[in-house]
Amino acid sequence: MSRPILLLWLLSLSLPMAASARLERQASGQKTIEVSATEKIEVIAEIATIKLGCQNQAATKDAAYAENTRLANKIVQAILDAGVAKEAIGTESLNLEQEQDRYGVKPNQPLKYFASQKWQIRAQASEAQKIVDIAVAAGANQIENVEWSVKDPAQLEAKAYSAALKRAKELAEQTASQTGLKLGEIVSIVNSTSSNG
């Protein structure tokens, strides 16, 4: 169930040049060349944030809440028994509502009560499918999604930035070489990241 994480880094680099056919003139009068480079880094996800829960209904609010509490305790205990740390399980929502609040009043039918709980479970990506399977077997009947991430996103961003900067410099040097000009120092760097997990 583990998914790759893709990080894109877009870098724009401005360098002064002696002369060029395609130059931008800055306010200072300095001639520059601007290059853009995009690099992508793809890694296997290390962390999974699993969002799942349980929902039930009953004729009374007390019965709906009691059944939901019983189900929730069973699900959470099964996840704990699977080796997930208690600190890695967080309640995302807990709801108790009357049917009319959700669907409007239905004539000639007794009102029902709905109870639901949802959790976020943070685990190793390689354990995500096992945790979902265990939770469903224990009574979970809502699986919202799984978010994939890495332990150290800053390290991944630094690696992508370094690769994009190297590529931008290569492009600038190639452009200068083909036009017979010489590059100066970097004037500005603009960068942005895009993550797809």
Average model confidence (pLDDT) for the chain?
81
* Contact indicator for 35, 183 with CB cutoff of 8 Å: no
Helix (H, G, I), strand (E, B), or coil: what is residue 157? helix
Phi-psi category of 10—alpha, beta or left, where left has phi over 0 and alpha has psi -120 to 50? beta
pTM over 0.85: no
The domain 47-149 having CATH identifier 3.30.300.30: the answer here is no
Domain ranges of the chain: 4-45+152-196, 47-149
Q: pLDDT tens-digit profile of 177-186?
A: 887 777 777 7
| Strand (E) or helix (H) holding 6 | strand 4-16
pLDDT above 50 for 18: no
Give residue 97's pLDDT: 92
Q: What is the 3 state secondary structure string of 58-123?
A: ECCHHHHHHHHHHHHHHHHHHHHHCCCCHHHEEEEEEEEEEHHHHHCCCCCCCCCEEEEEEEEEEE
Residue percentage of the chain with pLDDT more than 70: 77
List, in order, residues 6 or more apart from 116 with CB less than 8 Å away. 53, 54, 55, 56, 68, 93, 94, 95, 142
Give residue 138's pLDDT: 97
